[in-house]
A = this chain, B = another copy of it.
């Protein structure tokens, strides 16, 4: 019996230039979901995707929500393991604009050490990765007229803005979205020829705080030294959140953290991860952070706290001698099992209130939180994914963690009872959330091939050849 995957791989090869053109078309749409000025563009991206899925032969539609719409599609075989593919069509804001070498929404293919790469906001997060399974489905449909298993597609437009409408939508469409496994491509490989499955995601708590001292901006000569300066106070407050050993200095913060398993430590030490190159790519020589942990351990298995933004007072040219009434910061914690996001959020808020100096007032806003995730690695679906990746790459995938958060994974578990296969094709130096974000075309190609192979392996789980 011939292998149904082979002609699909050939079709993928024939159509790869067209697949790159389609990715470029998708990237040209500035679907900056957090910016109301781009609401029409964000909607346009949803409609573009729904049209592509319809063209492939799936039953696709754009579904309204209270915010950006969902794209939902269904198709494939009438029986077999049901697979739910999730992605997001919204992208991060591109600022700072002046640091882009090519315009963020004019996708440009440039040469790189791994061959050509496409540069644009959203190239890898998430449009390029999303299209790896869309193009795989396209090739499969073209060759075989159907997909080998029943599939559902769910793509949202608010992943970069806390997915406010996702859970209500999932809860309201449980039957339509029911599946046996979810697939998300939004994580990394170790290298273009070294595939990986991600089994750990950090959680997140994100807060914004405003510190208020005097009731108005003050002249720093007329008042300096005799009144509380919210900027001085904010620096002190934020500095107090870490100790000298790189640990978060909030009592109770680490209470729920599961200790690192020796098996994990050993496995990660054995990975072909080039720490020096990883740091050199961002201009650093050594990793700094919590004492006693390696770089990978810090990113994959330890919580942390980062200030993401700070502002207050005068930031224009020259000197303005002001004591501002208000100072502001945005900060976020990354969480690991078994921390519970809402509990850490409450702990953090309480602690910030406690350490707010008596001569200031603090206001704190919750900008979103999500639990850390550990996905089981011993399921038949993980085994299927391992085989699919080994088929394409010629080697087993590494099992890795991820420092980032993908909150939908927790939502899918909680609302639909689904585990998620995190099979991604990004690289560490893709510059997600930074200027000059890129996606290697060799990774795009292998991603499409891997998803085609994954569909074949899913079908075999259901008893197909």
Do A313 and B319 have beta carbons less than 8 Å apart?
no
Residue of B nearest to A297 (CB): B226
- Say whether A287 faces chain B, with CB atoms less than 8 Å apart: yes
Complex alpha-carbon distance, A404 and B218, angstroms: 12
Complex alpha-carbon distance, A306 and B319, angstroms: 13
13 new A-B pairs (CB below 8 Å) besides A216-B283, A222-B404? A93-B316, A214-B282, A216-B431, A219-B433, A220-B332, A221-B404, A223-B282, A224-B306, A225-B304, A225-B306, A227-B288, A234-B235, A309-B314
Which interface residue of A93, A330, A428, A435 has the most chain B CB atoms within 10 A? A330
CB within 8 Å of B: which residues of A? 34, 92-93, 95-96, 99, 161-162, 202, 204, 206, 208, 213-229, 231-232, 234-236, 238-240, 242, 279, 282-284, 286-290, 295, 298-299, 302-324, 327-328, 330, 332, 334, 359, 367-368, 402-405, 428, 431-435
Given contacts A221-B334, A225-B298, A225-B403, contact A320 B433 (CB under 8 A): yes
Do A221 and B405 have beta carbons less than 8 Å apart?
yes
Complex alpha-carbon distance, A306 and B213, angstroms: 13
Contacts of A306 in B (CB 8 A): 220, 224-225, 229, 231-232, 323
Do A218 and B323 have beta carbons less than 8 Å apart?
no
Shortest C-beta distance, A277 to chain B (Å), equals: 14
Shortest C-beta distance, A197 to chain B (Å), equals: 17
Given contacts A220-B332, A283-B215, A435-B216, contact A308 B225 (CB under 8 A): no
Complex alpha-carbon distance, A428 and B313, angstroms: 21
Complex alpha-carbon distance, A222 and B202, angstroms: 10
Could you list some 25 contacts between A and B, CB below 8 A? Answer: A34-B318, A162-B318, A206-B321, A213-B284, A218-B282, A219-B432, A221-B334, A222-B432, A225-B299, A225-B303, A226-B299, A227-B284, A228-B288, A231-B307, A232-B305, A232-B306, A235-B307, A236-B242, A307-B313, A309-B322, A309-B324, A310-B313, A311-B311, A320-B433, A322-B433
Do A330 and B319 have beta carbons less than 8 Å apart?
yes
Do A232 and B222 have beta carbons less than 8 Å apart?
no
Q: Which of B284, B308, B315, B317 interacts with A314 by CB under 8 Å? A: B308
Do B308 and A311 have beta carbons less than 8 Å apart?
no
Contacts of A322 in B (CB 8 A): 308-309, 433-434
Contacts of A162 in B (CB 8 A): 318-319
